[in-house]
Chains A and B, each alone.
Chain A
């Protein structure tokens, strides 16, 4: 394994060395790197010094304590922002300059080309970032004799490194899939916005002083980096890179591809339905994964009972059956309109989870589906602990029999949708693979999820409230 990686890395480093040397010949890259490495940490030193003087004069020393590590993180992050520009340009820039073809005609493998470009975009900004951190730390030490704890320093270095890898791997995916630098820059919003939100989150964590949370950020980012690199490699295609000249929105092709996959060459509705069942069966491993995730969500809910106990007045169930039915009747819940509301609500959640899942390799979609299970675990445990086990069963079981399989199926379909980006089918463009996955998702939705949702909604509005009231009144 080590030998294999060494044989791959050697040629990749040829690309890296050339590109890094080329970057250092371009003043448009050198200038911001130098500014962000030398001058910016100096500015941050000044800011830190001023903050310390301020808190010494007016109190509130905690601001200074938290600001200095926060600025350490900022000083590390700014130089790596340059990596985005380099990475976005990596493939599509060469394509625009027409220098990509000799490289694609060479015996380098896809992996070697990809890793070479990835390292070339990562290493110089990262070195600049480490240098910036060093300059800042020296400055702060000279000014106020502050040094970070070794753990904090490791966290910041790891965070900076992994953020650079995430940004670069995301940008290289974009660069390898677009036909112009302009298009790549426009699509960079998909990286800039999440990273901006991430930095804001990290800032809150650092001012809050909960530094252990940074480990979770590092872990999460490492997973995303691996998925992005996998995505980039899975979609790296010499032919697409050279053959595609224009980014044209071909609505007719989009519709045709989607429709063909949706109909799936079925001769009649029964034939089509059989194909839907075939897809559902092919999701059995994903469904198994989803069962584990939903159970985990449930257990997380159960674990919160002792931390956040329900106020005792909420557990007063005297005459609850009458009050409960009164409220439901006032809403008109137990009606066809009520069932329609439930169906629409559930569909909205499924669509939201699917959209989020598509752009997050399925992760956010699954989290959305886990949230109700966390709430369910919490509420049911509270009811059982208060001695109302039968009420707990009556409120969940009737419609849950249908809704829980819906959640499992939906989750499996979302994971499949998200996985399309990481592991697309062979001989397909990224667009075609996503359209086909979307068609499969639609087939599952129309063929299985929607009928189950309708059934569950009618049970939820017609049967569950009466059973609950019956059990409560007993």
Chain B
């Protein structure tokens, strides 16, 4: 559905994007994470055929971004970082205009814009001028514009950045719905919780290069190591030595707790619990310690800084 091979862009001798390889199938959501100026927007602009790659190629919905630019643009719905709305236009007229631009007939335009305005809670403001909209309303209208022509591929730059929690939830639910209807979606965001909630895959980009890429679980495993677990007891162990199974490694322990990591929790955890209960130790709880995406992100950035320093 969307593939890039060595996608690169140079501006005045500076590589804004350098050798990006991505592969997404229908119904997959990729969160593109990275610091400001990392190359996220440039990548998105190449995928919408606005910028021409200096090197490499990208295929979007089966079309080459250089050779079939018009078809690529027709296949993609874009939510740009700046919403780019026409302030003097009423909301319904704005959607109608973009509907015409994307070649929809009058009936489709009316039907789809009414539905989208309703879905995003903007139907009461449909005749209001966009200049009078709040930031969140503008963001929702821009998202409605991106969805208007029912594109198979969506490129969303900070889709919930200016929204109140309720609106942000509405947008996230919309994205989930789109994913289940087999849309391919790329989200550029700084909101890691949102990325974790929505994305199937994560790509972390820094200085134009992808420094980490994969499913959230694989990234956690690769960057932070095996998952950690914490076992708590109802009372202090008073020096009782806990022997962990061979596939587990102790991280730390205290009077009434022990923390360990394992890459095979399905084998280690039941065996350990069985042993402890047979010894009559008062197990209070066993829980997985969360590996947050934030830790994954920071670790990836840290690793890339170390590599850059080593290269210097």
Contact = CB atoms under 8 A, between A and B. Distances in A.
A22 B94 CA distance: 11
A239 B98 contact: no
Interface stretch (B76-84, B112-120, B172-180): B76-84
Contacts of B80: 98, 101-102, 105
A242 interface: yes
Nearest to A24: B88
Contact of B70 (A103, A109, A239): A109
Nearest to A98: B82
B97 A18 contact: yes
A239 B42 CA distance: 11
Among B70, B84, B142, find the residue whose CB has the most chain A CB atoms closer than 10 A: B84
Interface stretch (B48-56, B214-222, B288-296): B48-56
Given A242-B45, A243-B11, A105 B50 contact: yes
A102 B101 CA distance: 11
A11 B45 CA distance: 22
Contact of A11 (B48, B82, B84, B101): B101
B103 interface: yes
Interface in B82-117: 82-89, 97-98, 100-103
Interface majority SS on A: helix, strand, loop or mixed?
Answer: helix
A243 B78 contact: no
Contact of A14 (B70, B76, B97): B97
A99 B84 contact: yes
Given A239-B50, A242-B50, A107 B70 contact: yes
B145 interface: yes
Contacts of A450: none
B48 A105 contact: yes
A107 B98 contact: no
A243 B51 contact: yes
Contacts of A474: none
Contacts of A106: 73, 98, 101-102
A192 to B, nearest CB: 28
B68 to A, nearest CB: 11
A240 to B, nearest CB: 10
Interface in A96-143: 97-109
Interface string A1-17: 00000000001001100
A108 B102 CA distance: 8
Given A109-B70, A239-B51, A239-B52, A102 B100 contact: no
A238 interface: yes
B190 interface: no
A99 B85 contact: yes
Interface in A1-45: 11, 14-15, 18, 22, 25-26
B258 interface: no
Given A14-B97, A14-B100, A98-B82, A22 B88 contact: yes
B74 interface: yes
B124 to A, nearest CB: 22
B259 interface: no
B36 to A, nearest CB: 15
B71 A107 contact: yes
Given A107-B102, A239-B50, A26 B84 contact: no
A340 to B, nearest CB: 43
A108 B73 CA distance: 9
A426 B22 CA distance: 29
B70 A26 contact: no
Given A101-B50, A243-B11, A107 B78 contact: no
A61 B48 CA distance: 67
Among B83, B100, B102, find the residue whose CB has the most chain A CB atoms closer than 10 A: B100
Contacts of A15: 101
Contacts of A18: 86, 89, 97
A119 to B, nearest CB: 15
Contacts of B51: 238-239, 242-243
A24 to B, nearest CB: 10
A108 B88 contact: no
A244 to B, nearest CB: 10
A253 B70 CA distance: 33
Among A101, A105, A106, find the residue whose CB has the most chain B CB atoms closer than 10 A: A105
Nearest to B142: A102
A105 B81 CA distance: 13
Contact of A100 (B70, B73, B84, B89): B84
A98 B84 contact: yes
A59 to B, nearest CB: 55
B50 A104 contact: yes
Nearest to B96: A18
A99 B51 CA distance: 17
16 contacts: A14-B101, A18-B97, A25-B88, A97-B87, A98-B83, A101-B50, A102-B145, A106-B98, A106-B101, A106-B102, A107-B70, A107-B74, A107-B101, A107-B103, A238-B50, A238-B51
Interface of A: 11, 14-15, 18, 22, 25-26, 97-109, 238-239, 242-243, 253
Closest 3 CB pairs of A and B: A98-B82, A107-B74, A99-B84
